[in-house]
Chains A and B, each alone.
Chain A
Amino acid sequence: MAVDECLLYRYGVTGDTVLRIYGWSRPCITIGYFQGVREEVNLDRCEHSQVDVVRRITGGGAVFHDMEVTYSLVTSRFHSDIMESYRSICDMVVLGLGYMGLDALFSPLNDVTVNGRKVCGNAQTRKGGALLQHGTILLDVDVEKMFSLLNVPTTKIRDKAIADVKERVAGIGRTFEQTTDALRRGAQDAFGCGLDSMSLSGNDIAECKRIMATRYSQRSWTHKR
């Protein structure tokens, strides 16, 4: 999260578009900017399971990051209409999934579906003339584990929620490497450009550490709502 925010502030204003593709060293839950952490997350179970919980700077719902490819995209060149900006960025996912033989569709406002089931969710923020979009491409989904960590009021509702999610959400059944390769190809097609690899500079890393220290490692940030 700190790296994504650093990219937003340091590269969003340069005119460069930065695509970061990453995974997680261990499962984690992120909650949307407007969500109440105690309402959404079973904090005791997360602590017991060593699952970190952190608030995003983007809206949307709680996400259990486990078997997925995560990406962030920072750009100052984006459509002013929010839905169109989601559509144009999600195009790289749609095209990338196509390279793996998957017939994907953009599903407004912020999802990508395959065979009617959500395989990719996204969330944006816009700050200082730049846009950050987070996105996750699900490789596989462990719905029972997810709902053991998220709060659902009653057992009855939990069973229904699990059934609903199983019906609506799916993993794409590809490997991390296959998916990252396809996403790179999709990005080149969607944006009509090549990709140059980049590394964070020393100043970038220092800024990431500052953001980490002042925001994401602070309980007051994740528990602010």
Chain B
Amino acid sequence: MDTDQDSTVVTTHVAKLEKMVRIRLDYSSQFRTIRHIRITGDFFMHPEDSIDDLEVGLLGAELKRDALRQRISLALADTRCFGFDVESLTGAILNAGGGEP
């Protein structure tokens, strides 16, 4: 696998979901996998620590709708969120990555 042409793309995307959600995303240009993600905004999550599980759980995920949806659902299985849901967050992350190829 040739990784010579791989680089990290850094993007920020602000999505007005039910609450404001800002996605700061670093991803592989070649493999379109997440290298770092930070999700911030005025939303609510109970328990709050789930945000760490969510961000860690998304590392390595492909920027594809099904892959993201699966990772987010798993990370937030026992979490109540107000301000976004699995689908809207999936869409926001995809948009941060320039949309689904």
Binding site for B on A (CB under 8 A): 32-36, 39, 57-62, 82, 109-110, 123-127, 225
Contact = CB atoms under 8 A, between A and B. Distances in A.
Interface stretch (B43-51, B69-77, B88-96): B43-51
27 contacts: A32-B41, A34-B39, A34-B41, A34-B42, A34-B43, A34-B45, A34-B48, A35-B40, A35-B41, A39-B40, A57-B48, A59-B44, A59-B45, A60-B42, A60-B44, A61-B19, A61-B20, A62-B42, A82-B80, A109-B44, A109-B82, A123-B44, A124-B44, A125-B48, A126-B46, A126-B47, A225-B40
Q: Is the interface of A mostly helix, strand, loop or mixed?
A: loop
B32 interface: no
A59 B42 contact: yes
B53 to A, nearest CB: 13
Interface size class of B (residues with CB under 8 A): 10 to 19
Contacts of A62: 42
Contacts of A127: 47
Given A58-B44, A60-B42, A126-B47, 12 more contacts: A34-B44, A35-B40, A35-B42, A36-B22, A39-B40, A59-B45, A60-B44, A82-B46, A82-B82, A124-B46, A125-B48, A126-B46
B64 interface: no
B38 interface: yes
A125 B44 CA distance: 9
Given A59-B48, A82-B80, A36 B40 contact: yes
B48 A33 contact: yes
B77 to A, nearest CB: 17
Nearest to B18: A109
A57 B42 CA distance: 12
A61 B42 contact: yes
A61 B42 CA distance: 4
Nearest to B39: A34
B57 to A, nearest CB: 16
A126 B44 CA distance: 12
Contact of B38 (A36, A58, A110, A123): A36
A60 B46 CA distance: 12
Contacts of B42: 32, 34-35, 59-62
Contacts of B39: 34
A82 B46 CA distance: 9
A102 B19 CA distance: 28
B22 A59 contact: no
Contacts of B46: 82, 124-126
